[in-house]
Amino acid sequence: QKQRYVPKLISGEWTGTMNLTEPQAGSDLALVRSRAEPQGDGTYKVFGTKIFITWGEHDMADNIVHLVLARTPNAPEGVKGISLFIVPKFLVNEDGSLGERNDVHCVSIEHKLGIKASPTAVLQYGDNGGAIGYLIGEENRGLEYMFIMMNAARFGVGMQGIGVADRAYQKAAEFAKERVQSRPVDGSAKQSVTIIHHPDVRRMLGTMRALTEGARSLAYVAAAHSDIAHRHSDEATRARHQAIYEYLVPVVKGWSTEMVNDVASLGVQVHGGMGFIEETGAAQYYRDARILAIYEGTTAIQANDLVGRKTLRDGGAVAKALIAEIGETVAALGKLDGAAAASMKVQLEKGAKALSSVVDYVLANAKQDPNAVFAGSVPYLKLAGVVLCGWQMAR
């Protein structure tokens, strides 16, 4: 399978998709109904409907390789009964050439709020006898396999948020340097000046830049932990850095994609009325940013992951280790002279204590009052984002 599909996916001659979502199965993949019936030759016939498929249908590649979650006959209920299949748009011959069209068809392309350059498709499998699919790995382990890619995709979406935020900031800063409006409040000029001289515009631009740079720094740190986890010679070191990376992924994805909505909104505000006019481009960042906190797992899904898998599972070990590292930075700031260092020390110490108290609350109350704990999961994620990003900025 790898020899047949991977080289052309890497070269860009073919493209790929992830087919998880169905009309009744959004974040809850236990509700997946698509089915895969085994054939005598080792292939499967796949039937079902998949929605929200990014680049599910287009003419920019010779073939589209769909990775489809489906259930085999007599599979266990829930997520433990889901398998993963390769279902190409065009079947691939033994010599690697393209064969006949498979039984998968695009029903429609969605009309969306944003990311309009990306075709989002509704795909129907098996209307004419069944789409031919090929099992990846073992039956009933499909979600496990898919989540290897999902975790990488979630980190990538976090980086998308940072990219859009940075571009929104650049656009707003460029506009603020050119737009002339009103005299400065300090009386330093008798004529109208560019709006970047006005305190509130500078506040908005400063907020945009700080949020973006903080998110970027945290993402880089997470990526560094991933590199060490994959490359270090010592197994224990690899495991420790992998655990830190896994804790940071939902924060990078969840916080960065929430942050970009605020940053893109401020970008519109800096433009004033022109921000509401499409030709300036500020509105596109605002529209395009909105999907980022939704796809590849909503912010609530990331927060549930942060609470359940990343905090409760290890008894808060990684979270507490990171908070201890923040404490080292607080101590280092205390040795520096100047008001700026003193202010950063106070704020970072306050943030670390708040984060520590939330982690303790999660550990103490998750069993007896899970509703209360998970009701606060998104605020926990956002707090972690603010504190961890502030930590990186302080470093």
For tokens 């690697």, name the residue. 96
Asked whether the CA dihedral 177, 183, 185, 190 is positive or negative, the reply is: positive
For tokens 């299949």, name the residue. 85
Of 17, 136, 2, which is closest to residue 70 (Cα–Cα)?
A: 136
First-last CA distance in the chain: 46
Instruction: Say which residues have a Cβ less than 8 Å from residue 332's Cβ, sequence separation at least 6.
Output: none
**Catalytic residues, which ones?**
296
Tell me phi and psi for residue 76, to 5 degrees.
-60, 155
Angle 210-213-218 from CA coordinates, rounded to 5°: 120
* Buried/exposed code over 304-336 (b: 16+ C-beta within 10 A; e: otherwise): bbbbbebbbeeebebbbebbeebeebbeebeee
Q: Which two tokens stand for residue 335?
A: 């040795």
Cα 115 from Cα 117, distance rounded (Å)? 6
